[in-house]
Amino acid sequence: MLIGKIFGIKFRINIWFLLLAVLYGFLGLGLEILIILTSLILHELAHLIVALIMGVKFLEIELLPFGGQAKLQDFTGLEPSKEICIAIAGPLCSLSISGLLYLVNLPLHPEAIPYLIKINLLLGLFNLLPALPLDGGRVFRSLLSPIMGFRKATAITANLGKMLALMLVGYSLYLLYISNYGFNYIVIGVLLYMAAYREKHLLTFAFMRYLINKQGYLGSQGFLAGEQYISKKGSLIKDILYNSKPKSYILTFVIDDDNNLIKVKTEAELIEMLLEKGPKARI
């Protein structure tokens, strides 16, 4: 559901989160929902401002109970340093708000201040966990990408997100069993699992965007570090491209059964073959 635009960027609220907010409203917790939404928007605005400063364009942001998922016009997986700066901005903003409210006596509603401190503290700390789609997961992926490649790093951090979601649901079921409290954590856990699943499910699409955008970066930058691979004729192209790393360019030396060089394939050629023939394409 679209709730508005900021700097031309659409802000949407997840339908399940909206239903949870309506339920909170019926239970007389309207102030709490307003505080949560305000904290989430400020958290996402921090991401947005840093992204605009670094020249990265967002198309829209979907608000979830634990943060937001952004759709980008520019793919940041190419430059891990950018993704780290953009990702870390949200938790730093939330923690700063919590610290400021704790230290400074601002003229706000007396019941709102403790809840603002609590929500922003939880929002900041929770998002630092190294699991997609959380901000800490994006930082962790950016650190892993130069070592093992973007695809493997995304798969690992998305799986960590699913594991975290299952742990959260398990914890909420335990709370329900001992105290009849914790249903909201089930909703958060389910939404987190769905978001992590979506990150992994869209991995192929995101990976192709990553590869194609790297060609544009090479054209504008003029050079990239080279990474050489030796491949037998008939190897799956996707297995080679899965090793692609940010700011490096793959050159594949294709050899025959006698280990004689047949030809050299560039990363651009491999991408074209993969797009033309699909995931079964071979050299």
**Each residue of 250-261: pLDDT tens digit?**
899 999 888 889
Angle ∠(204,208,213) on CA atoms, nearest 5: 150
- Indicate whether 197 pLDDT > 80: yes
Average pLDDT, stretch 91-104?
Answer: 93
- 39-48, 125-134, 270-279, range with the lowest pLDDT: 270-279
CA angle, residues 35, 44, 133, in degrees to nearest 5: 105
Q: How many whole angstroms separate alpha carbon 195 and alpha carbon 17? A: 13
User: What per-residue confidence (pLDDT) applies to 72?
Assistant: 66
Span 221-277: which CATH code? Answer: 3.10.580.10
Provide the pLDDT for residue 206.
Answer: 66
Sketch the domain layout of the chain as residue ranges. 2-128, 221-277
Q: How confident is the model at residue 219 (pLDDT cuts 50, 70, 90)?
A: low
Return the active site residues.
Answer: 44
Q: Select from 267, 204, 202 the least CA-distant residue to 241.
A: 267
Instruction: Measure the CA–CA gap between 253 and 262, rounded to whole angstroms.
Output: 8
* pLDDT above 70 for 76: no
pLDDT tens digit sequence for 37-75: 899 999 999 999 998 898 887 778 888 888 877 776 555
Backbone angles phi, psi at 109, to 5 degrees: -55, 125
Token pair 């023939």 is at which residue? 277
Selected residue with higher pLDDT from 273 and 252: 252
Q: What is the 3-state secondary structure (H, E, C) of 107-154?
A: CCCCCHHHHHHHHHHHHHHHCCCCCCCCHHHHHHHHHHHHHHCHHHHH
